[in-house]
A and B are shown apart, each in its own frame.
Chain A
Amino acid sequence: MRASTGDWRGLRSGAFWVICVAICVICFRQANTSEWIGSFPKEWTFGIADQVNTAMNWLVPKLSGPLHVVSTILGFLLNVTRGVLAWTPWPVAFCLFVIVAHRAGGLPLAVFTVVSLAYVAVTGYWERSMNTLALVGVAVPLSVVLGVQAGILCYRYKWLNSVMQPLLDVMQTLPAFAYLIPILLLFGFGPVVGLIASMIFSIPPMVRNTILGLQRVPPEISEAGLICGCNRRQLLWWVQIPAALPQMKIGMNQTTMAALSMVIIAAIIGGSDDVGWAVLNTMRKAQFGPSLIAGLVIALMAMLIDRISLNFAKTETAAPADARPGRWRHPHGLAALAVIVIILPPSLFIEQLHYYPREWVWDFTGQITTALDTFIASTSGALESLKRAGLFFFLLPLRIGLDQAVSPYSWGIEFTPALRIAYAGLIAAGSALALGSGSRTGAIFIAIWGVLFYYGTIGIPWPVFVCTIAMLAYAAGGAGTAALALATMIFILLNGLWEPAMFSAALCGAAILLAFPLGMAIGTVAAEVEWVSKAIRPVNDTLQTMPQFVYLIPFLMLFQVGEFTALIVVIAYALVPAIRYTEHGLRSVPVASVEAGRAAGCTEGQLLWWVKMPQAVPEIMLGLNQTVICALSMLVIAALVGTRGLGQQVYVALGKADSGLGLIAGLSIALVAITTDRILQGMSRSSKQALGL
């Protein structure tokens, strides 16, 4: 029964492909004569953005009362936390952090903490770091409590879960810049905005991990609880939550990291004197020395917080059987107590110990700036040509097509008809070759990219784009995914955002086209060569904990403001998941099948390509999925260094305080991300099924 349905869908899908290709051909032929095919007519769009603004104007006064209460409470919490952290003498805070780090990760982490904190203090960022920490310190507990509650409710009520999942998707993919303005309007100006923004972004991982943890509690443990006569409350709090705790601690770690990265981003609206603001401010003034120093502060903070919370998440409950006797049972508690008793009182009376003195700040901005300037000056020729090459030979063709991009000015040659035919022949030959070696997907892939490079995302008539993507979505995930893809594209079209969307598509497409194969290659090497894997792991860990903001600094220095910089930044951010998933996929191929391959006499190369790679495909697909999501989420940040597209729209809206435009453009990005996610998850699933996993 099921098989026959599958065949039927296969047949219908074949018919759909024919129709799709037909539509594409007609559109390309008619694009020059029928205006509306070439570009979506303005008259057909209607501005939801204005309606949103009107709605906001109507809504804000109505809600301002109760929301003002919320923002007062949050503001109070924030001020208290901030006050305590600012009042605490820095040597005391320093020692307490080190003790916590030692408790979490032993001596290595303690040493790392000492070095990092010393850097923060010496560079004069102690106070601003504490301000950032205060925001995180308020956001995380609130997010965790709300997230756990929501997670429990979702676990208990299935209908709520099905409502919550898409909401969580939107919360995680909607760029923060898009909702900063509405929050600002609703809650008023101030650091509370950053707090709420970071909570919106950091609640989802807590909810997801709570649900996951509860779902993964072995049924026997829940049954054991039931048979002991637990009522619902006892079952939840005495059995299921404790059993789900390891997973929930992972959620806490993710929530903390999300909160930190969003606190940094939210600094863009100002109002709080924290590290994020320092980075942004110096970056805007093109003071690369200071921004590099401040960026490193953020990076160190991120690494510290991540390592400490992750170590706490991973330590299991200690076995009292091997605990030390008597008073040595809690050495860390004792040490903390000693710090408070011995160091705190004198510190309060000695000015230098209470607040980190300015005279002790070691200002090496000058040296750094000089060094950077010489470095950039010496490499600028090479960097400049790299930039030009990337723009003219790669990014531009992808956006406006070889058709437009090849000109004597940029390429030094004319795109003659003969060259056009040669290009078409090349693509056709590539497709045929792929088809000949039995890979239909490969053939379709080459053909699509061939067409894309010829016309560019801007040059392709919109109906062609809509048709092809909808078809891909249908093939990958069925009717539901296709409907989602169509809805997304229609939303973008109707809001008149098609052109910026295509700019973004070109940028993201280019980034993914470079980042994914590169990541796969590195991941493959890491899976095969042990020392590469060991060397690359800490680098990946570090890159993944880094708030997106930090990525901008080095590339901005090297390549200045511009689209190429944006491309490189997106690539840098999207590279890590490609590496990780590829390595993981290749390494989790069952040992039995690798041994079978060896026993059959495979060379290492054959083993990789014929045995491991095919089985790693589902995992690598998920890696591609993450790569795309990362690229999209970086889009808005990249807009800071100058791109055109949806990211820029969001950023412009932020500048003009235009809630409507910001939300609509942001929502477009979120919808694109969610659609891509569904399509690639679908592909991963079907390749998994094909392997019978």
Chain B
Amino acid sequence: MNTSVKLSCRNLWKTYGPHDALEATRSGAGSGNTIAVMERVRQLHGLAACANVSFDVMRGEIFILMGLSGSGKSTALRCLSRLVEPTMGEILIDGEDFTAKSPRELIEFRRHKMGMVFQNFGLMPHLTVLENIAFPLRVQGIELTERNERARDMMRLVELDGRENSYPRQLSGGQQQRVGIARSLAGNPDIWFLDEPFSALDPLIRRQMQNQFLHLQSSLHKTIIFVTHDISEAVRLADRIAIMKGGEIVQIGAPREILENPANEYVEEFTRDAREGLMIRGAAGADLK
């Protein structure tokens, strides 16, 4: 079983604040007493955005980090891609220590192994749709005709054909996020990070994009880490969910497990809507049948 672990995050800490607070995190991280370390950091005017976060993500799995804003889920995701340098902890990808990679290795790794989708799309305003999608390939130094060809393939994949020469500002939100998705997949990564990709979209479009996302994954089989604050989205998409609160993981499990056996009151409160939704949907489904 262990062989199929793609990405493993061990005792991850990210502290913001003055030097002392960072030191306190480093010296305290090994103690295992998460609460005490967080309290110490707070006293030193720091903030532990991620506190002792550990989880494994299997190959081809959709793993969802879920929590309210400020729960540390986006920070955790950024630590995994080292857009934010973790203060303490270990990240293993394919058994290799990702945190130890040199800047040069990191750049190589990102070019070939990682893709990321952003909440507000993060598209380059000065590039056309096609140029945006081809951007990761351009960074790798692939020549123009080849990268345009591959970018066109990606456009077909996300059903955006015909908008090659538009600029991002001329597209709707849903279309912009399709560009974001196409760009993140252009380098053919193994690991796919999605940071609240559908949160900025209208509910109807969101639903449509979720379906398309599942459809894509059914053929691509990427290892996915997906961040959202929307429990129903998480329940709908995830193989497993990790619920975060105040920088810590409160519970990890399959959607059904979490709904049926919430670890504490917080998770129960949090998942109430989804549970009720599920019941209504279940009832309605029964009626239809």
Contact = CB atoms under 8 A, between A and B. Distances in A.
A221 B176 CA distance: 13
A279 to B, nearest CB: 42
B138 to A, nearest CB: 8
Contacts of A317: 126, 167
Interface string B86-120: 00000000000000000000011111101110111
Interface residues of A, number: 23
A228 B139 contact: yes
Given A231-B107, A319-B167, A224 B115 contact: no
Contacts of A319: 165-167, 170
B125 interface: yes
A229 B110 contact: yes
A320 B127 CA distance: 12
Interface in A307-345: 316-317, 319-321
A317 B119 CA distance: 25
A223 B75 CA distance: 13
B83 interface: yes
B248 to A, nearest CB: 24
Interface in A202-259: 218, 220-221, 223-231, 234, 238-239, 242-243, 245
A227 B81 contact: yes
A242 B124 contact: yes
A223 B138 CA distance: 16
A238 B127 CA distance: 10
Nearest to A229: B111
A505 B247 CA distance: 56
A507 to B, nearest CB: 47
B69 interface: no
Interface string B174-208: 00000010011001000001000000000000000
A68 B115 CA distance: 54
A221 B122 contact: yes
Contact of B139 (A220, A234, A243): A234
Candidate in B107, B121, B166, B184 with the most chain A CB atoms within 10 angstroms: B107
Chain B binding surface SS class: mixed
Given A243-B126, A321-B165, A229 B136 contact: yes
A221 B123 contact: yes
A223 B118 contact: yes
Contacts of B125: 221, 242-243
Given A319-B165, A319-B166, A321-B165, A227 B114 contact: yes
Contacts of B126: 242-243, 245, 317
Contacts of A321: 165-166, 170
A224 B124 contact: yes
A228 B111 contact: yes
B83 A223 contact: yes
Contact of B107 (A218, A223, A229): A229
B140 interface: yes
A81 B107 CA distance: 45
Interface string A516-546: 0000000000000000000000000000000
Candidate in B109, B116, B169, B170 with the most chain A CB atoms within 10 angstroms: B116
A220 B168 CA distance: 14
Contacts, number: 81
Contacts of B116: 223-224, 227
B137 to A, nearest CB: 9
A227 B111 CA distance: 7
A230 B166 contact: no
B13 interface: no
Contact of B110 (A220, A227, A238): A227
B226 interface: no
B118 A228 contact: no
Contacts of B180: 224
Contacts of A229: 107-112, 136, 139-140, 187
A320 B130 CA distance: 13
Nearest to B138: A238
Nearest to B128: A320
B135 interface: yes
Contact of A218 (B115, B122, B193): B122
A228 B122 contact: no
A225 B169 CA distance: 18
Contact of A320 (B124, B136, B165): B165
A226 B110 contact: yes
A220 B120 contact: yes
A227 B118 CA distance: 11
A545 B83 CA distance: 44
A243 B108 CA distance: 24
A245 B116 CA distance: 25
Candidate in B81, B83, B193 with the most chain A CB atoms within 10 angstroms: B83
A563 B124 CA distance: 55
Given A242-B126, A319-B167, A228 B135 contact: yes
Contacts of B167: 317, 319
A225 B111 CA distance: 10
Contact of B124 (A221, A227, A234): A221
B122 A220 contact: yes
A228 B166 contact: no
A354 to B, nearest CB: 42
Interface of A: 218, 220-221, 223-231, 234, 238-239, 242-243, 245, 316-317, 319-321
Given A229-B139, A319-B170, 8 more contacts: A220-B119, A221-B123, A223-B122, A224-B180, A227-B193, A228-B111, A229-B112, A229-B136
17 contacts: A220-B118, A220-B120, A220-B122, A221-B124, A224-B183, A225-B135, A225-B139, A227-B116, A228-B187, A229-B136, A229-B139, A230-B107, A230-B139, A243-B125, A316-B169, A317-B126, A317-B167
